[in-house]
Amino acid sequence: MLPMEIEDRSMEIIENELQTPLAPDIKPIVKRVIHATADFSFADNMRFTPGIVDDIHRMLKSGATIVTDTNMALAGINKSALGRLGAKAVCFVADADVAAEAKERGVTRSFVSLERALKIEGPKLLVCGNAPTFLLSLLEITEISGMPADTAVIGVPVGFVNVVEAKEKLWASGIPCIVAMGRRGGSNVAAAIVNALMYGIEGVRS
């Protein structure tokens, strides 16, 4: 079987085994996460603020900048799809100047990365698949300065320390977001969500 045939067959299996009713706009996103993880629990633990899928589609079509918390999440985002949309994806956390500034100020690299991300002009999609400090830093910064317009968040870090708390705080904040509640998540999940959002725009996936 060709790769696309394997994917199509996998999606058929997921559709047949999926037990949780899902709204039409979020179903393709959840299915792609399940495809990336083979974990059907995401159908029950993913949360979407009202209108978030349409909002992110509009942002992506307007050439949004996607800022990830890790290079691993960045690597998983489909660059061809980005190119068709005129969007771009970046990760600041491993930059030498970010590390130096974080050390000098006594803050995390995630904090400095988010400060830089929030200053980017135009629509922004902030994507967290690994570091809950990314989400906590975002909440700390925006509590003081507010959330810039045309900014949305994908919050799906994985792990045991501060992960659940960070996701719950993000969800309670009212910030436009997609969140996988609980401990599950990861960079692959974050990338799968971004890719599903891009694939949901007509003409992006040939």
In this structure, is residue 191 part of a structural domain? yes
Residue range 48-81, pLDDT digits in tens? 999 999 999 999 999 999 999 999 999 999 999 9
Task: Give the domain extent around 106.
Answer: 3-199
In this structure, is residue 206 part of a structural domain? no
- The residue type at 185: G
> CA torsion 72→76→82→88, rounded to 10°?
0
For residue 35, give both structure tokens: 């495809």
Answer yes or no: 57 catalytic: no
What secondary structure letter does DSSP report for 130? S
* Residue of 10, 11, 28, 35 marked active site: 35
Residue range 144-192, pLDDT digits in tens? 888 999 999 999 999 999 999 999 999 999 999 999 999 999 999 999 9
Number of domains in the chain: 1
End-to-end CA distance of the chain: 18
Please state the pTM of the whole predicted model: 0.96
Confidence bin at 2 (pLDDT 50/70/90): confident
Q: Does residue 155 sit in helix, strand or coil?
A: strand
Q: Does residue 21 sit in helix, strand or coil?
A: coil
pLDDT > 80? residue 206: no
In this structure, is residue 154 part of a structural domain? yes
In this structure, is residue 67 part of a structural domain? yes
CATH number at residue 87: 3.40.50.10230
Look at the chain and count its residues.
206
- 9-19 CB burial, b ≥16 within 10 A, e <16: eeeeebeeeee
The C-alpha atoms of residue 112 and residue 101 are separated, in whole angstroms, by 7
In this structure, is residue 130 part of a structural domain? yes
Q: Does residue 175 sit in helix, strand or coil?
A: coil
In this structure, is residue 204 part of a structural domain? no
